Amino acid sequence: MPIASYEQYCEMLDRAKKEKFAYPAINITSVTTINAALKGFADAKSDGIIQVSTGGGQFASGLSQKDMVLGAIVLADACRTLAENYDVLIALHTDHCHPNKVDGFLRPLIEETAKRRAEGRPNLFNSHMFDGSELSTTENMKQSKELLELCAPNEIILEVETGVVGGEEDGHDTSGVAKDKLYTTPEDMLEVYETLNPVGGRYMLAATFGNVHGVYKPGNVKLTPTILRDGQKAITDKYGADAALDLVFHGGSGSELSDIHETLDYGVVKMNVDTDTQYAFTRPIVDHMMTNYEGVLKIEGEVGNKKVYDPRSYMKKAEENMAARIERSCADLKSTGTSILSGAVAA
């Protein structure tokens, strides 16, 4: 099945909010990780979101190029080709883009979509994320509004963020941020609605409620999901039930499942999954190397064992394990068996 159209993506998000589940959003960096994501979603019979970060795009372009736009285009086009062979819908998204990279990443990708649409071709990406959380809320929303005005005519959904997700991701370290910045306020969420809603395009909000990027033992990440509830209430009390925002959950590694499920009640429709899938991908490779140490290396003049140093022998294991972790994420977020294409009804 092709990558989701704008209408299908909107239907995915509407259905998730109505039926109280969320889609895992999986970061990819290569054809192998794309295949793992597609397999994981297909095995779960769940639609899903595949996303590319600035660092992921740079990596995919190769060491001699280090071009985040080129790499993102290559990955998106590969996703589109490979997704044709699956029976679930996939939306393509770009992850955290900070203000200093907007001109070098987001704008060129939006321009590429506009060019493709003029040629009668589908969008390059379905949605983009602008992470203006390092700015004041007012400046964040000013820049978010400008980007939404570019996205809306091209049927691109914009994801924005208020507050700061702690920890470190893709080279952006917020570990020194004051604790009060880790929590979005109802006033912040109201400002997002009042700034972006008049534009007319569709958008999502990554509101922070104690989220932290990285990997932590269960119980170490202290979330306050009621922040999302209170923010939604501030909006709907003033503008009505239909004004409730589509919310995104970042930094969920180490979160209690009960906290994750509570966020679904408050409008979370997308949850980023990267740290856990990185580990799931790498773990079987490490096991392969340690188990086949004398085969993957030419020790003391020996010739090694081509069957075990052939990259395909361990990359297949990595793909399989990452796919299984994605299938588990679908179960955790209650999206299993909900694909629009299957006509399934969420449990």
95 catalytic per annotation: yes
Which region, left, alpha or beta, applies to residue 67 given φ > 0 means left and ψ of -120 to 50 means alpha? beta
Q: Collapsing DSSP states into helix, strand and coil, what is residue 65?
A: coil
Residue 135 identity (one-letter amino acid): L
d(CA 162, CA 140): 8
What is the distance between the alpha carbons of residues 16 and 334, in angstroms, rounded to a whole number?
9
* Residue type for position 67: D
Query: From residue 184, how far is each of 22, 180, 211, 309 by CA, in Å?
Result: 20, 9, 11, 49
The catalytic residue among 14, 67, 87, 95 is 95
Distances (CA, A) of 209 to 34, 162, 165, 215: 30, 10, 8, 17
Tell me the HSE value of 40 on the side-chain side, using a 13 A CA sphere: 35
Would you please indicate which residues are annotated as catalytic (active-site) residues? Answer: 95
